[in-house]
Amino acid sequence: MKRTATEAMRNQFDSTYAMINNLIAICPNDVWLESYNDVPFWHQVYHFVFFIDFWIRDTYDGSEFKSMNFDERILPELDTKIDGALHISKVDMLEYLKVIQIKTSRVFDNLNDDLLGTPIIKGKIQYTYADVFIGQIRHIMYNIGYLNGCLRQRNLPESDWYSYNETQKLYF
């Protein structure tokens, strides 16, 4: 089966992992715990990382999708208030990304160009594998841009743009 588009999608998607890992690695620990617009930096990261885990999975049949579990009081939605004593450490977030990437790699390994356009939910033609991957890339990049802005406000380094065909220093 042809995999040209599938591998292009994988390369673009995997490039976001480099940027997420860089973002976490360069974020100072005190900033990691600070809030911006009432949302802790770490929670903004968890928000979009959780939804990678949610949307990119082996099956969409209602079975468990979570690659890691955290305190059940930590919800991914940004409009939820999190007890100030709760947080996910940078080390745990990097581990979460690592196990999610194993899952997303497996999903990509099992796809081909024909399957990219296949609906993942019966009767929902707007939810294909391609829709999910492109939607997640957009969601990740939106959030990285926002968090880079938070870092820039403090005159801190940011997670620079990373493309799969460029050589760049990675911080993780």
- The enclosing domain of 116 has a CATH number of 1.20.120
Q: Which domain holds residue 108?
A: 4-153
Tens digit of each residue's pLDDT (9 = 90 or more) over 115-162:
999 999 888 888 999 999 999 999 999 999 999 999 999 999 999 887
Q: How many domains does the chain have?
A: 1
The answer to whether position 113 is within a domain reads yes
Confidence of residue 171 (pLDDT cuts 50, 70, 90): low
Tens digit of each residue's pLDDT (9 = 90 or more) over 105-122:
999 999 999 999 999 988
Question: What's the pLDDT score for residue 123?
Answer: 87
H or E stretch at 36: strand 35-36
Confidence of residue 36 (pLDDT cuts 50, 70, 90): very high
Q: Which of 140, 134, 137 is nearest to 159 (CA)?
A: 140
Q: What is the spatial distance between Cα 129 and Cα 76, in angstroms, rounded to a whole number? A: 22
Per the prediction, the chain carries an average pLDDT of 93
Structure tokens at 8: 């292009």
The answer to whether position 159 is within a domain reads no
The answer to whether position 171 is within a domain reads no
